[in-house]
């Protein structure tokens, strides 16, 4: 039925597609358990208010309702508040106040979906309205309302301060620099909006005292640990199952109150309970992304040598700090804001604040805030190019970290593992036909009125993915390692169990390919088990482009451990020393032969049978052919890429059309070219979405203005071009097969390319900068000289 590359690395069709194209995926909401009840959540209609009273009597009297639960009831059980991944706390159900529109106030468990919703209408909540804090720039004003009065001693809306780099060194460089460009850059709040919303089915077995939770989680093991610590259920009695996930993009990393509601509902009723949020709930209340106001500065010589980059960031973290980032990195990996350039000094200070908005922050394929960092530096470099009247490509080429400088330690302390930036940029220029594009642009501008405004935007990004080294990185004390367990059966087929979880990235295929390549098996003879904490080894899950860098390395090293053992067994079978054997896969399968005598030896399948069989094994070698590993990376991996976007703007309507998008990505060794390309295509679409249309805005009352897909606009097939991609390969030196993460590269790298293209198109209008989203109205305002930030 399908054609496959017979072995290992290559364009192999995906194993998981067989069920998806038949409509046989197994998503959380597809689950139907005997006696299952349905849960719906009552949410706050306002952004900031004291709860005066909640009357649930009418809801409880509904004939199909089994339970109605309020914050007060949870408080009696010590479950009203739960920890967030950032060490803050978040209300499971509001007890004292509501702090953002859409916050969870009560929940109903009923016999069916619709009855649960009906009963929400019967709950009467009296709110005493408070002044909402909506404007991030005024959150720390002395007269701003206090949001977090639940925290003892708290007197303002300050969340945290953070800094990186050398302030004095940066100041010295800026003081003497010939050219300095400054700009406020707003990266507005956006939302990952996976096609599948969040949900869970909780089934608490009172006899076994065991909880099974099917949930839309990108990190099932981490969720198990958190739920155990918070709910007091012993961890070995919690099984978290993350079945097929309909897209994650970071939205499904946090533990949401709804998961806890389902658990409490099941414990109370003794029956399985399903919770599935609707689209509005997903957009209004679950993990958002970005929301940074960045004051950016870049210093350079008149000859275009970039000397320093500096920024101050005002970060809106919403009502609770629900961001998911390693503990020592409250600003995520924003520290890589020096980008791909070899500079003398850098400094960033960050002030994070609370507002009356939904919690979140690290999501939407941002690689822990690298999306924000790349946007900052790539806009600044383009503005510097405009200031110096330089071509944005040549300015970048002049300042790139050179290939001979790797490993390169940045001014903020990041050790870039490998790279060849000029090569990637040159390939992008070649695919784009850059000189011809510039000539066309000049010609169109010369023709003048009535012509579409043509813009060419360039961006170059370096990512830092694959968190992360135990010495630096943990989440709530959990090291960011990943496990792998590999079993080779007597007949030579294998099962590999991994701690990461696919949300569409194709793990069932690529991990089979990894094992197949290492053991000389056919990928069809390797099955991948993932997403079930009872049957997979511990690890922190799939986000931050970490599956291939961390878990992929674990799988390769487990396979190599198996192969080392197989070599000992093969040596025994052939009665030679292990060192006299050589491994090959040249005959279409893995085998050990006596060195220099092809065909003399045994296949991996024969070794597997011996490992489990009755024959003698060498002294000290146990039976079986299995391996287990927990992999802790030494460093992150640093994928990079060069992107070029071509836009046309209708001068009469200010509508931006993306005509072409060229993306050259270097993610080191590629396991499955087809899957890598797919990851890049999706990210480029994200970038066009963020740059041109996606926006979670708020009115002055704190009402979310992006609460449905009619208001929160996502690109369709009509808003994106066919993608033109290119590849360079610079292997990662610290990864066993040289692979780097790629899942977020395009999401991170593409927004500045689109914005740079739009600004380039508007150059004849004297436009220096305009903030995202570059909707027709915002572009029109910029053309009229009235560009203003979105908030």
Partner 1 sequence: MTVNGEVVTRDVEARLLLVHFLRDELGLTGTHWGCDTSNCGTCVVLYDDEPVKSCTVLAVMAGGHDVRTVESLEWEGQLDPVQQGFMECHGLQCGFCTSGMLMSARALLDRDPDPSEATIREAISGQICRCTGYASIVRSVRWAAEHPAGGVG
- Is residue 713 a contact partner of residue 191, using CB atoms and an 8 Å limit? no
Of 112 and 184, which has the nearer Cβ to partner 1?
Answer: 112
What element of type H or E holds 544?
Answer: none
**Minimum CB separation from partner 1 for residue 203, in Å?**
18
Q: Looking at the chain, how many residues does it have?
A: 791
Strand, coil or helix: 547: helix
Tell me which residue of 640, 633, 638, 632 sits closest to 417, measured CA to CA: 638
Tell me which residue of 461, 481, 365 sits closest to 667, measured CA to CA: 461
Of 175 and 717, which has the nearer Cβ to partner 1?
Answer: 717
Of 54 and 110, which has the nearer Cβ to partner 1?
Answer: 110
Pair of tokens at residue 63:
């004939």
Of 253 and 481, which has the nearer Cβ to partner 1?
Answer: 253
Strand, coil or helix: 217: coil
How many Å apart are CA 516 and CA 519, to the nearest integer? Answer: 5
Which chain residues interact with partner 1 by CB under 8 A?
A: 1-2, 13-14, 16-25, 27, 29-30, 32, 112-114, 192-197, 244-249, 276, 278-280, 503-506, 674-675, 677-678, 681-685, 708-710, 714, 716-718, 720, 722-723
Of 580 and 673, which has the nearer Cβ to partner 1?
Answer: 673
**Minimum CB separation from partner 1 for residue 754, in Å?**
14
How many Å apart are CA 76 and CA 70, to the nearest integer? Answer: 10
Tell me which residue of 625, 570, 572 sits closest to 582, measured CA to CA: 570
**Minimum CB separation from partner 1 for residue 108, in Å?**
18
**Minimum CB separation from partner 1 for residue 657, in Å?**
13
Strand, coil or helix: 389: coil
Tell me which residue of 136, 188, 379 sits closest to 790, measured CA to CA: 188
Of 2 and 301, which has the nearer Cβ to partner 1?
Answer: 2
Pairing mode, if any, of strands 656-666 and 640-649? antiparallel
Of 39 and 307, which has the nearer Cβ to partner 1?
Answer: 39
Q: Got the DSSP string for 126-174?
A: EEEE------GGGTTSTTSPPS-TTSTT--S-EEEEEEEE-HHHHHHHH
How many Å apart are CA 592 and CA 600, to the nearest integer? Answer: 8
Of 1 and 207, which has the nearer Cβ to partner 1?
Answer: 1
**Minimum CB separation from partner 1 for residue 223, in Å?**
19
HSE at residue 188, side-chain half, CA atoms within 13 A, is 24
**Minimum CB separation from partner 1 for residue 192, in Å?**
8
**Minimum CB separation from partner 1 for residue 284, in Å?**
13
**Minimum CB separation from partner 1 for residue 654, in Å?**
21
Of 80 and 680, which has the nearer Cβ to partner 1?
Answer: 680
User: 10 Å Cβ neighbour count for 152?
Assistant: 5
**Minimum CB separation from partner 1 for residue 622, in Å?**
40
**Minimum CB separation from partner 1 for residue 262, in Å?**
17
Of 123 and 684, which has the nearer Cβ to partner 1?
Answer: 684
What does R_g of the chain's alpha carbons equal in angstroms?
28
**Minimum CB separation from partner 1 for residue 493, in Å?**
23
Crossing angle between the packed helical segments 673-692 and 745-761, to the nearest 10 degrees: 40
Q: Is 163 exposed, middle or buried (0-12, 13-18, 19+ CB in 10 A)?
A: middle
**Minimum CB separation from partner 1 for residue 205, in Å?**
24
How many Å apart are CA 788 and CA 781, to the nearest integer? Answer: 8
**Minimum CB separation from partner 1 for residue 36, in Å?**
10
Beta strands in 401-541 (DSSP E): 408-409, 415-416, 453-462, 474-475, 478-479, 482-488, 494-498, 526-529
Of 508 and 518, which has the nearer Cβ to partner 1?
Answer: 508
Cis peptide before 468 (omega within 30 of 0): yes
Of 276 and 730, which has the nearer Cβ to partner 1?
Answer: 276
User: 10 Å Cβ neighbour count for 484?
Assistant: 31
Of 114 and 405, which has the nearer Cβ to partner 1?
Answer: 114
Of 83 and 243, which has the nearer Cβ to partner 1?
Answer: 243
Of 66 and 565, which has the nearer Cβ to partner 1?
Answer: 66
How many Å apart are CA 594 and CA 601, to the nearest integer? Answer: 6
Of 246 and 776, which has the nearer Cβ to partner 1?
Answer: 246
Of 340 and 509, which has the nearer Cβ to partner 1?
Answer: 509
Q: Is 39 exposed, middle or buried (0-12, 13-18, 19+ CB in 10 A)?
A: buried
How many Å apart are CA 586 and CA 296, to the nearest integer? Answer: 55
How many Å apart are CA 548 and CA 220, to the nearest integer? Answer: 17
DSSP 622: P
The runs of H, that is alpha helices, within 207-276 are 220-231, 257-269
Strand partners, 316: 353
Rounded alpha-carbon distances, angstroms, from residue 293 to 42, 135, 289, 632: 32, 11, 13, 34
- Is residue 573 a contact partner of residue 279, using CB atoms and an 8 Å limit? no
**Minimum CB separation from partner 1 for residue 764, in Å?**
30
Strand partners, 59: none
- Is residue 35 a contact partner of residue 271, using CB atoms and an 8 Å limit? yes
**Minimum CB separation from partner 1 for residue 194, in Å?**
6
Three-class secondary structure assignment of 726-783: EECCCCCCCCCCCECCCCCHHHHHHHHHHHHHHHHHCHHHCCCCCCCCCCHHHHHHHH
Of 23 and 620, which has the nearer Cβ to partner 1?
Answer: 23
């Amino acid at each position: 039925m399908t054609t496959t590359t017979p072995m290992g690395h290559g364009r192999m069709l995906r194993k998981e597609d067989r069920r998806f194209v038949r409509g046989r995926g197994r998503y959380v909401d597809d689950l139907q358990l005997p006696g299952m009840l349905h849960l719906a959540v009552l949410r706050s209609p306002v952004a900031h208010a004291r709860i005066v009273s909640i009357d649930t009597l009418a809801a409880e009297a509904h004939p199909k309702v089994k339970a109605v639960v309020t914050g007060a009831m949870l408080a009696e059980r010590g479950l009203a508040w739960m920890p967030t991944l950032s060490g803050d706390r978040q209300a499971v159900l509001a007890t004292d106040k509501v702090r953002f529109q859409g916050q969870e106030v009560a929940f109903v468990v009923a016999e069916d979906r619709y009855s649960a919703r009906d009963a929400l209408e019967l709950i009467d909540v009296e709110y005493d309205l408070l002044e909402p804090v909506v404007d991030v720039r005024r959150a720390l004003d002395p007269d701003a309302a206090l949001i977090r009065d639940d925290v003892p001693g708290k007197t303002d809306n300050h969340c945290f301060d953070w800094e990186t780099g050398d302030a004095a060194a940066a100041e010295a460089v800026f003081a003497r620099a010939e050219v300095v460009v400054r700009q406020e850059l707003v990266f507005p709040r956006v939302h990952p909006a996976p096609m599948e919303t969040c949900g869970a089915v909780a089934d608490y077995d009172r006899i076994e005292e065991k909880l099974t939770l099917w949930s839309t989680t990108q990190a099932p093991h981490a969720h198990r640990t958190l739920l155990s610590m918070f709910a007091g259920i012993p961890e070995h009695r919690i099984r978290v199952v993350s079945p097929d996930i309909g897209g994650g993009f970071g939205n499904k990393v946090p533990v949401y109150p709804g998961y806890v509601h389902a658990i409490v509902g099941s414990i109370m009723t003794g029956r399985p309970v399903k919770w599935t949020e609707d689209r509005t709930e997903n957009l209004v209340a679950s993990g958002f992304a970005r929301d940074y106001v960045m004051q950016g500065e870049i210093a350079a010589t008149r000859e275009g040598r970039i000397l320093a980059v500096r920024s101050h960031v005002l970060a809106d973290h919403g009502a609770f700090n629900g961001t998911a980032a390693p503990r020592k990195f409250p600003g995520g990996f924003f520290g890589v804001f020096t980008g791909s350039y070899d500079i003398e000094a850098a400094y960033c200070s960050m002030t994070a604040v609370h507002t009356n908005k939904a919690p979140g922050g690290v999501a939407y394929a941002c690689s822990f805030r690298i999306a924000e960092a790349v946007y900052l530096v790539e806009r600044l470099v383009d503005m510097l190019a405009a200031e110096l009247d330089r071509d944005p490509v040549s300015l970048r080429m002049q300042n790139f970290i050179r290939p001979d400088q790797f490993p390169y330690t940045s001014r903020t302390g990041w050790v870039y593992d490998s790279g060849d930036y000029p090569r990637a940029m040159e390939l992008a220029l070649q695919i784009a036909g850059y000189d011809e594009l510039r000539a066309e642009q000049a010609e169109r501008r010369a023709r003048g009125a009535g012509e579409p405004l043509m813009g060419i935007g360039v961006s170059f990004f370096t990512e830092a993915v694959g968190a992360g080294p135990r010495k630096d990185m943990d989440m709530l004390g959990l090291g960011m390692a990943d496990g792998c367990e590999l079993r080779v059966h007597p007949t030579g087929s294998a099962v590999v169990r991994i701690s990461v979880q696919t949300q569409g990235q194709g793990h069932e295929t690529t991990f089979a390919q990894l094992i197949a390549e290492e053991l000389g098996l056919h990928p069809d003879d390797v099955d991948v088990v993932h997403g079930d904490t009872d049957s997979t080894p511990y690890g922190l899950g799939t986000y931050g482009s970490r599956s291939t860098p961390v878990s992929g390395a674990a799988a390769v090293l487990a396979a190599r451990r198996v192969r080392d053992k197989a070599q000992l067994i093969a040596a025994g079978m052939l009665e030679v020393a292990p060192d006299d054997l050589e491994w090959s896969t040249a005959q279409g399968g893995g085998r050990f032969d006596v060195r220099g005598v092809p065909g003399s030896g045994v296949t991996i399948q024969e070794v597997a049978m011996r490992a489990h069989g009755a024959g003698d094994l060498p002294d000290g070698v146990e039976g079986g052919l299995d391996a287990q590993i927990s992999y802790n990376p030494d460093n992150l991996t640093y994928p990079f890429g060069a992107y070029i976007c071509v836009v046309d703007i209708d001068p009469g309507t200010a509508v931006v059309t993306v005509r072409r998008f060229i993306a050259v990505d270097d993610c080191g060794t590629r396991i499955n070219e087809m899957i890598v390309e797919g990851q890049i295509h999706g990210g480029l679409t994200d970038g066009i979405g963020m740059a041109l249309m996606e926006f979670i805005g708020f009115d002055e009352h704190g009402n979310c203005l992006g609460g449905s897909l009619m208001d929160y606009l996502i690109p369709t097939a009509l808003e994106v071009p066919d993608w033109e991609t290119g590849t360079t390969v610079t292997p990662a030196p610290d990864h066993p097969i040289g692979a780097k993460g790629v899942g977020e590269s395009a999401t991170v790298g593409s927004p500045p390319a689109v914005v740079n293209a739009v600004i380039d198109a508007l150059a004849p209008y004297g436009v220096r900068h305009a903030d995202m989203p570059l909707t027709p109205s915002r572009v029109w305002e910029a053309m009229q000289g009235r560009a203003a930030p979105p908030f």
